[in-house]
Chain A
Amino acid sequence: MITKDYIITSAQGMHARPATQLVKLAKGFKANTSLKKGDKTVKLNSLLNILSLSIKGGETVSVIMDGEDEVSVAVVIDDFFTKQLKEL
């Protein structure tokens, strides 16, 4: 299992557009991925659940990845939060 913390770098936070992107990314892997903000944890395969966390710019979230291809997921997730998110 891999856990990583990220600061949300887009001003608007996890809006529909980046959240959609994230769900699509996570679906490409076998590993179970989930997103944690505060004491709430949701599966990354549900856009509804991600949006319901109401993640704002500047907040910190943790991503938990668990499964045989977790290392590859971690690379893709890392790229999403550190690079792509700023442009979405």
Chain B
Amino acid sequence: MKGIGVSPGIAIGRAFVIKKNAPATNGIVLKNQVEIVTEIERFDISVVNALGEIDAIKNSSQLMLNDDDIAILETQVELINDPQIREDVVAKIEAEKKTANDALIEVTAGIVALFESMDDEYMRARSADFQDIGNRILKYINRTGDTNARSFEPDTIVIADDLTPSDTITLDLNLVTGFATQAGSRTSHAAIIAKSKGLPAVVACGDELMTINHNDFIILDGLSGSVYVNPGEEIISRYSAKSDSFKQQSEVLKKVKDKPAITADGKQVTLLANISSADDLDMVHDNGGEGVGLFRTEMLFMDRDTFPDEEEQFEFYKKAVLQAKGKPVIIRTIDIGGDKHLSYFNLPAELNPFLGYRAIRISLDQEGLFMVQLKAILRASAFGAVSIMFPMISNVKEIRDAKLILNKAKTELTEAGIAFSEDVKVGIMVEIPSAAVTADILAKEVDFFSIGTNDLCQYTLAVDRMNEKITHLYDPFNPGVLRLILNVIEQGREHNLHVGMCGEMASDPLATLLLLGMGLEEFSMSAASIPAIKNIIINNTEAHAKQVCQQVMAMDSSENIIAYLKEITQ
């Protein structure tokens, strides 16, 4: 069966099934004022008892709680104590003559329904927390004092309809190797806890999950979301191997995740990520990315019928900027044309689309569209460290024209009294050979360069990336390409410019030392590649990288270069 994998890893073990009884109303109508007062007191005493239980959990040395656990418990204390919840419960007891049990069940149901109807996924997931709070107090109203501390055999996989905050804290998770829940979402409590504890977990498995029996043999894959019940030998051995390699890999990656990317002789570089939307940023933070070196904006423009307006673009950029949590974000203006088309924007067929009407060429031609995007990006800059990057620059005039329009956008925003950051940096993609050769000229116009190796390689070697017959010629280690890259980095340094790279080459372990030796200080790549590249940087010296660079730049063919790099990287 299949659910949503929310915390990667493989868990293999025996099922422990947790089934909960739904709370039931008793329908009793209170007869007089004395009963009403008694029921209100019953509620208040139950609240005190429920708080006492949380205190006991908080002070338990056995459970070894971390800061996240404590924060969850403090939230629970506030909710159990919530004056609004009490007011609603008391009103039901007094006005509708209901028992504390029924009043609380109804109030809880109302809150759960309210949160379930919210448009925000996080808030929807909180409905389970409120159900949990209701159940906690209810337990004392009915005096069924379940201490709910459970202990497990080693290698237990917990199977439950959903896991509430109190479940996940009181379960002895040290012996649990993973869990699967019937309900839940990516932001449900169970998912968050699983991630923070590094336990493989699958949520939203559906009703089928509850057909699992105690002690069934279970394999769950927290990445794909697959759950196997009593699988055959072949699946068991396949997943055992997967589990081992995952553990090894994550050990290495975990070690470097929070380390800065500094060589053994003290040279620091910045490792950034390429993203397409705000959703990618979780992965960036998880892999220790220091920000976003390339935010492709095309995704917002694809799969729709009209251009997104300024407001929609602003929301899209702002979301990513906020999600970056203060880390820098380089937003690239739209790069359509070439192989990327929009159904609602008529781009005539061209003989050579990669040499045609695309990227900045479209933006400068369609000033109205460009203005909308620039204003939206500028507005997002009020929420974090935003830079703007223009793609496909081939000469200095394009930069000057683009900056003129950018200034117009700023003036319009200022006149309208709309906030934006005054120090938005402006840079260009260096991906056309003319730009790479004239890096010294272009450097005077911008704050930073970002080398786009994919297009730079295709244009320098006159090789169409899409043509399968000539893929062998598409070769970033061609000395011609390498000389251009070196020139951009050297000219950038000469003019005190920040130089980064956001193409495939930045994530190629074979190229890391060479680029480091050339003086590249910023590598931007898919988030998943960051730990591996960081590992290389940490375990080498800048001095060694410089030697590698010297050697490579003296070689006459990419065959020799690749053979040499393979030999020193292995």
A86 located at the interface, meaning its Cβ lies under 8 Å from any Cβ of chain B in the complex: yes
Are A46 and B84 touching (Cβ within 8 A)? yes
Known contacts A11-B323, A54-B123, A58-B383; is A48 also within 8 Å of B82 by CB? yes
A56 located at the interface, meaning its Cβ lies under 8 Å from any Cβ of chain B in the complex: yes
Are A46 and B322 touching (Cβ within 8 A)? no
B65-80, CB under 8 A of A: which get 1 and which 0?
0000001101100110
A40 located at the interface, meaning its Cβ lies under 8 Å from any Cβ of chain B in the complex: no
Contacts of B114 in A (CB 8 A): 52
Are B318 and A58 touching (Cβ within 8 A)? yes
Are A11 and B322 touching (Cβ within 8 A)? yes
B322-359, CB under 8 A of A: which get 1 and which 0?
11111000000000000000000000000000000000
Are B129 and A16 touching (Cβ within 8 A)? yes
Query: B325 touches which one: A11, A45, A52 (CB < 8 A)?
Result: A11
B283 located at the interface, meaning its Cβ lies under 8 Å from any Cβ of chain A in the complex: no
Shortest C-beta distance, B310 to chain A (Å), equals 15
Are B75 and A58 touching (Cβ within 8 A)? no
CA distance A54 to B325 in the complex (A): 20
User: In residues 397-423 of chain B, which contact A (Cβ within 8 Å)?
Assistant: none
Q: Of all chain B residues, which has the CB nearest A58? A: B318
A23 located at the interface, meaning its Cβ lies under 8 Å from any Cβ of chain B in the complex: yes
Shortest C-beta distance, A25 to chain B (Å), equals 12
Query: B75 touches which one: A17, A49, A57, A86 (CB < 8 A)?
Result: A17
Contacts of B318 in A (CB 8 A): 58
Are B79 and A48 touching (Cβ within 8 A)? yes
User: In residues 3-43 of chain A, which contact B (Cβ within 8 Å)?
Assistant: 9-13, 15-17, 19-20, 23-24, 43
Are B78 and A12 touching (Cβ within 8 A)? no
Q: Of all chain A residues, which has the CB nearest B107? A: A48
Known contacts A17-B75, A20-B78, A48-B85; is A54 also within 8 Å of B322 by CB? no
B497 located at the interface, meaning its Cβ lies under 8 Å from any Cβ of chain A in the complex: no
A41-74, CB under 8 A of B: which get 1 and which 0?
0010111110110101110000000000000000
Among A9, A45, A47, max chain B CB count under 10 A is at A47
B109-126, CB under 8 A of A: which get 1 and which 0?
001001100111011001
Contacts of A57 in B (CB 8 A): 319, 322-323
User: In residues 375-412 of chain B, which contact A (Cβ within 8 Å)?
Assistant: 383
CA distance A24 to B81 in the complex (A): 11
Number of interface residues, chain A, beta carbon within 8 A: 25
Contacts of A19 in B (CB 8 A): 75
Shortest C-beta distance, A33 to chain B (Å), equals 13
CA distance A15 to B322 in the complex (A): 14
B89-119, CB under 8 A of A: which get 1 and which 0?
0000000000000000000000100110011
CA distance A13 to B322 in the complex (A): 10
Q: Of all chain A residues, which has the CB nearest B73? A: A20
Contacts of A54 in B (CB 8 A): 118-120, 123
Are B122 and A15 touching (Cβ within 8 A)? yes
CA distance A45 to B129 in the complex (A): 19
**22 A-B Cβ contacts within 8 A?**
A11-B323, A11-B325, A13-B122, A15-B122, A16-B75, A16-B126, A16-B129, A17-B75, A23-B78, A43-B84, A46-B82, A46-B84, A47-B75, A47-B79, A47-B82, A48-B85, A51-B115, A52-B114, A54-B120, A57-B322, A58-B383, A86-B326
B83 located at the interface, meaning its Cβ lies under 8 Å from any Cβ of chain A in the complex: yes
CA distance A25 to B85 in the complex (A): 20
Query: B322 touches which one: A17, A47, A58 (CB < 8 A)?
Result: A58
Are B383 and A45 touching (Cβ within 8 A)? no
Query: B78 touches which one: A13, A47, A56 (CB < 8 A)?
Result: A47
Contacts of A24 in B (CB 8 A): 74, 78
Shortest C-beta distance, A43 to chain B (Å), equals 8
Shortest C-beta distance, B423 to chain A (Å), equals 18
CA distance A86 to B323 in the complex (A): 11
Are B75 and A20 touching (Cβ within 8 A)? yes
CA distance A15 to B126 in the complex (A): 9
Q: Of all chain B residues, which has the CB nearest A88? A: B71
Contacts of B111 in A (CB 8 A): 48
Query: A48 touches which one: B74, B84, B122, B324 (CB < 8 A)?
Result: B84
Shortest C-beta distance, B366 to chain A (Å), equals 28
Contacts of A15 in B (CB 8 A): 122
Are A46 and B383 touching (Cβ within 8 A)? no
Shortest C-beta distance, A49 to chain B (Å), equals 5
Contacts of B75 in A (CB 8 A): 16-17, 19-20, 47
